């Protein structure tokens, strides 16, 4: 007995319409969520106080006082002569690093000018000398 006509075999064609519908829905979902995943995550970074660095040789200390006078170790130097003096001092040293210590009342532009003179003299490492954060300053933040 034959039901449904002459062909009693299985249907060998795949119906792709539901497959295409699912793929389009997934495509839309990924297009909407992709920009959201590109954003960064807010994190609170840990705070730490830096330990003092151990120096094998006596560091070259450059200081700027309240009156914007520049000192190499304890010797007063004009800003115009700073470049040449540093080149002469650093020519005899193996390490070309300088530590800069500036008064907090010195204008920012003066400090930047001195930093550019230091870098122009061929200094490879420039360290900034600061005081550690006190307990009062930490609680005011």
Average pLDDT score over the chain: 76
Q: Report the alpha-carbon distance of residue 92 to residue 71 in Å, rounded.
A: 19
Q: Where residue 134 falls among pLDDT bands split at 50, 70, 90? A: low
Q: Where are the domains of the chain?
A: 60-140
3-state secondary structure of 8: coil
Q: Report the alpha-carbon distance of residue 132 to residue 111 in Å, rounded.
A: 20
Strands 60-64 and 75-77: unpaired
Q: Report the alpha-carbon distance of residue 83 to residue 117 in Å, rounded.
A: 6
- Per-residue pLDDT tens over the stretch 51-97: 655 555 677 888 888 888 888 888 888 888 888 898 888 887 778 88
Answer with the residue of higher pLDDT: 123 or 24: 24
Question: 81 pairs with which residues across the strands?
Answer: none
For residue 102, what are its two tokens?
Answer: 């500036």
First to last CA, the chain: 91
> What is the Cβ-side half-sphere exposure of residue 14, based on CA atoms within 13 angstroms?
4
Asked whether the predicted pLDDT for residue 41 surpasses 60, the reply is no
Choose which CATH entry (3.30.420.270, 3.40.640.10, 3.40.630.30, 3.30.230.10) describes domain 60-140: 3.30.420.270
Instruction: Calculate mean pLDDT across residues 37-57.
Output: 50
Answer with the residue of higher pLDDT: 98 or 139: 98
């Amino acid at each position: 007995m034959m039901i449904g006509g002459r062909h009693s075999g299985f249907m060998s064609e795949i119906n792709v319409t539901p497959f295409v519908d699912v793929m389009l829905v997934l495509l839309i979902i990924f297009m909407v969520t992709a920009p959201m995943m590109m954003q960064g995550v807010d994190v609170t970074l840990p705070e730490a106080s830096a330990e003092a660095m151990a120096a094998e040789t006596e560091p070259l200390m450059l200081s700027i006082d309240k009156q914007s006078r520049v000192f190499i170790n304890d010797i007063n130097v004009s800003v115009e002569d700073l470049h040449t003096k540093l080149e002469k001092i650093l020519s005899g040293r193996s390490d070309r690093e300088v530590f800069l210590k500036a008064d907090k009342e010195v204008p920012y532009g003066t400090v930047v000018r001195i930093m550019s003179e230091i870098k122009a003299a061929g200094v490879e490492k420039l360290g900034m000398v600061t005081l550690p954060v006190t307990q009062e300053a930490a609680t005011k933040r």
